[in-house]
Amino acid sequence: MADEKRTKDPAEGSGAGEAGWPVLHLFQRLERERWRGLPPGERDAAVEEFEELLARCEGEEGLQLIADGVIGKADLGIVAIHPSLERVQRLTQQIAATRLGGCLATVYSFLSISEKSEYISSTGDHARKLIDDDGLDPTSTAFQQQVTAMADRMSKYAEMRVHPQLPNGAEYPVICFYPMSKKREDGKNWYALSFEERKRLMGSHATAGRRYAGRVTQLITSSTGLDDWEWGVTLFTRDLKAIRDIVYEMRYDEGSALYGLFGPFYVGIRIAAGDLREALQL
């Protein structure tokens, strides 16, 4: 693997406190024959039991959880984030242990971890741009102010990536998840590129994504060594077309067009704890 070592920018930090959080995406199909085999009273109790579990989880400190009604490839989707992997594992068993959970079959799951991208722009990058492109004097007040502002923005961005907060459901009710990797083919091996070239390509990719600020918010997590793909991408939005637009545009981005591999797409609509019966037609 060709990836030369590089000197770390002091503004990037020592790595302390940068450990990411486990993130689980779980997609399940309701086995309706088994569900219909339960007595009506038991089905009612099963719905109440599951809704109570969702409500408890949504109110639990440290645990972020979203339930969504998946369109087509599954019935129920769960997105869960917690600092403890043990808590995420126990959540899967809590779901399975309910009466409704006994009628759910997992069709796809994806385990990943939040992280700060290695390609994030540094204050050093910004400082060089200010000097080389903008002609600022590095001893000037304007230069120092801009570098300080950049460092503050990047620090907040890194914190958001490492310790993500799931967006409000009222603002972003539509969810799209898909896994992806980078190619390792003869002549198209992402990991044979230099770090500088990979960073350039990812910078162009990020620029395309920023054009959708306010319309789409995203959660990008790493799954290398944890699952069959290298990253998981979760998009949150208000309308279906926004998902189509951002994915379509980014596939023309050089990094994706030449090196991107995409897995299955799962789209759903967020479910409040009390809306489970209607959403799944239980």
Task: Check whether 127 has a pLDDT greater than 90.
Answer: no
Residues 6+ apart with CB under 8 A from 114: 20, 21, 23, 81, 161, 162, 163, 164, 219, 221, 222
> Does residue 215 lie in a domain region?
no
Poorest-confidence range of 23-37, 146-160, 169-183? 146-160
What CATH number should be reported for the domain holding residue 63? 3.30.70.1030
Per the structure, the complete domain to which residue 78 belongs is given by 22-114
Q: Model confidence at 118, in pLDDT bands (50, 70, 90)?
A: confident
Kindly list the catalytic residues. Answer: 178
Model pLDDT, residue 187:
85
178 vs 138, residue with greater confidence: 178
What is the secondary structure of 80-100 as a DSSP string? Answer: EE-S-HHHHHHHHHHHHHSTT
> Does residue 87 lie in a domain region?
yes
Q: What is the pLDDT of residues 5-23, one digit of tens each?
A: 333 333 333 333 468 999 9
Task: Check whether 48 has a pLDDT greater than 90.
Answer: yes
> Does residue 152 lie in a domain region?
no
Mean pLDDT over the full length of the chain: 87
Q: What is the pLDDT of residues 179-204, one digit of tens each?
A: 999 999 888 999 999 998 998 888 87
Q: What is the pLDDT of residues 55-79, one digit of tens each?
A: 999 999 999 999 999 999 999 999 9
> Does residue 180 lie in a domain region?
no
Model pLDDT, residue 179:
98
Q: What is the pLDDT of residues 204-248, one digit of tens each?
A: 777 777 888 889 999 999 999 999 999 999 999 999 999 999 999
The number of domains in the chain is 1
Give the tokens for residue 5. 């070592």
Sign of CA dihedral 81, 82, 84, 86: negative
250 vs 273, residue with greater confidence: 250
Model pLDDT, residue 85:
97
